[in-house]
């Protein structure tokens, strides 16, 4: 067989719940395109476990040491990222402290999702909506086609 495979690129995103701030999540404002608000996260490096990448990305972008609580869901819509086809493993994590923007985050915001002043980029609005429904009902989102 000749030719290269064209596979989705693995990424991770983290829903970070801060101790003492119920109902809020940590969001970043992206320095790089696509600009806007997002969940902390990024690309999984070759040889890296997805959960380790989530912890690393949270630390790089927010300065927070997170504890992964659970694997939430996998998002693989080919159109979720306008740059290329990515597939995100999403985790729920907890942390304490004050996030400080670094790496490719211009700033960090801790707020309720409905308090964001601009829309979320990628498919992060879908992820947050699914997360809020999960917190309210205990039901995970169904697999998507």
User: Over 80: is that where the pLDDT of 67 sits?
Assistant: yes
Report the range of poorest mean pLDDT among 2-6, 12-16, 111-115, 141-145: 2-6
pLDDT digits (tens, 9 = 90+) for 132-144: 999 999 999 998 8
pLDDT band at 5 (very low <50, low <70, confident <90, very high): confident
Q: Which residue, chain included where needed, has tokens 């694997």? A: 71
Specify the pTM. 0.94
Say what the pLDDT of residue 2 is.
62
Residue 6 CA, chain-centre distance (Å), reads: 23
Question: Is 9-137 in CATH node 3.90.79.10?
Answer: yes
Average pLDDT of the chain to the nearest whole number: 95
Say what the pLDDT of residue 1 is.
53
Distance from C-alpha of 25 to C-alpha of 39, rounded to nearest angstrom: 9
Select from 71, 69, 16 the least CA-distant residue to 41. 16
**What sign results for the dihedral spanned by CA atoms 107, 112, 113, 115?**
negative
pLDDT digits (tens, 9 = 90+) for 11-41: 999 999 999 999 999 999 999 999 999 999 9
């Amino acid at each position: 067989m000749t030719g290269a495979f064209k596979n989705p690129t693995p990424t991770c995103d983290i829903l970070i719940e801060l101790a003492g701030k119920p109902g809020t999540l940590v969001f970043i404002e992206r320095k790089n395109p696509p600009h806007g608000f997002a969940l902390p996260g990024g690309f999984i490096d070759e040889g890296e476990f997805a959960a380790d990448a989530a912890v690393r990305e949270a630390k790089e972008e927010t300065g927070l040491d997170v504890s992964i609580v659970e694997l939430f869901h996998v998002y693989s819509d080919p159109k979720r990222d306008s740059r290329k086809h990515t597939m995100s493993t999403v985790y729920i994590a907890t942390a304490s402290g004050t996030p400080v923007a670094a790496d490719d985050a211009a700033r960090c915001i801790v707020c309720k999702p409905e308090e964001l002043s601009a829309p979320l980029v990628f498919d992060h609005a879908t992820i947050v909506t699914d997360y809020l429904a999960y917190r309210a009902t205990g039901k995970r989102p169904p697999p998507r086609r």
